[in-house]
Amino acid sequence: MEGLAGRTALVTGAGQGIGRAIARRLAAEGALVLCNDLDPARADAAAAEVGGVSVPFDCADPDAVRRAVAEHQPIDLLVANHAFMTMAPFLEVDPGEWRRMLETNLLGTAWLVSACGPAMAERGYGRIVCIASEWGVTGWPNATAYTATKGGIISLVRSAAHALGPRGVAVNAIAPGVTDTPQLDVDALDAGVSHDEMAAIYARDIPLGRIGRPDDIAAVAVFLCSTAAAALVGQVLMPNGGYVT
């Protein structure tokens, strides 16, 4: 991918799943990857694997976000991938879980965009990719709080794109379909089945015949970080195997 060699990329939630796959791909394209995770051990492991820098912090803490971003400037590429999810029927969601998902998923993404965007705009170049969810478009009955935060991320991206696009910063979102990551265990627990059974259940309704893989999403994220995607601004790409079109 053009335009990635020598760039510095901050990937949040890089300790596992989609974030880890994105970190690998960006590093393979020559970017220096700042590997964030809430768990310092996972951040360290990701950084060691990709030859990057471990940057553990809580994305829900705006002060921690500002400190980390300021310490590691210039940041050319931001992939906001971190997330927290629990599942329960709409009327049974614990208020504390509502708050944690809002603060982590939606506000955490807002803090990151607000911290990285202005410096990118001053330099006249930047790429911001926010990982939303297919469910942020369609909704999902037992994940109301989670889907609300992911829908909010889509609106955030579209607004930020208007603000930052004229100054050379492309802001876009990816709304993946169900993907085989540790987060799928939350779905499996809610349904009372195993991880593999949950994957098979979801796959029944996907035209591709399988759920997503982290590398599927990583490929789209790396494309959006490249100069090849220069005309994509404020877009929501949906790699989901055809489940939602």
Write out pLDDT tens, residues 87-118: 999 999 999 999 999 999 999 999 999 999 99
Please, which pLDDT band fits residue 244 given cuts at 50, 70 and 90? confident
Write out pLDDT tens, residues 47-70: 999 999 999 999 999 999 999 999
Cβ atoms < 10 Å from Cβ of 38: 18
Q: End-to-end CA distance of the chain, in Å?
A: 26
What positions carry a catalytic annotation? 146
Count of H helices and E strands in the chain? 10, 7
**Is there a contact between 236 and 137 (Cβ–Cβ < 8 Å)?**
yes
Tokens standing for 235?
């877009």
Tokens standing for 33?
């990857």
Residue 172 has pLDDT above 90, yes or no: yes
Average pLDDT (216-240) is 97
Average pLDDT (11-20) is 98
Write out pLDDT tens, residues 177-200: 999 999 999 999 999 999 999 999
**Is there a contact between 173 and 237 (Cβ–Cβ < 8 Å)?**
yes
Res 1: pLDDT: 76
**Is there a contact between 11 and 79 (Cβ–Cβ < 8 Å)?**
yes
Cβ atoms < 10 Å from Cβ of 79: 30
- Distance (Å) of CA 86 to CA 53, 146, 187: 30, 7, 8
More confident residue, 2 or 36: 36
Residue 31 has pLDDT above 80, yes or no: yes
Residue entry with tokens 């629990």: 86
Write out pLDDT tens, residues 123-159: 999 999 999 999 999 999 999 999 999 999 999 999 9
Tokens standing for 29?
């394209």
Superfamily designation of domain 8-179+213-237: NAD(P)-binding Rossmann-like Domain (3.40.50.720)
Gyration radius of the chain over CA positions:
17
Average pLDDT (8-26) is 98
174-204 exposure pattern, b = at least 16 Cβ within 10 A, e = fewer: bbbbbbbbebbebbbeeeeeeeeebbeebbe
Average pLDDT over the chain, rounded to an integer: 97
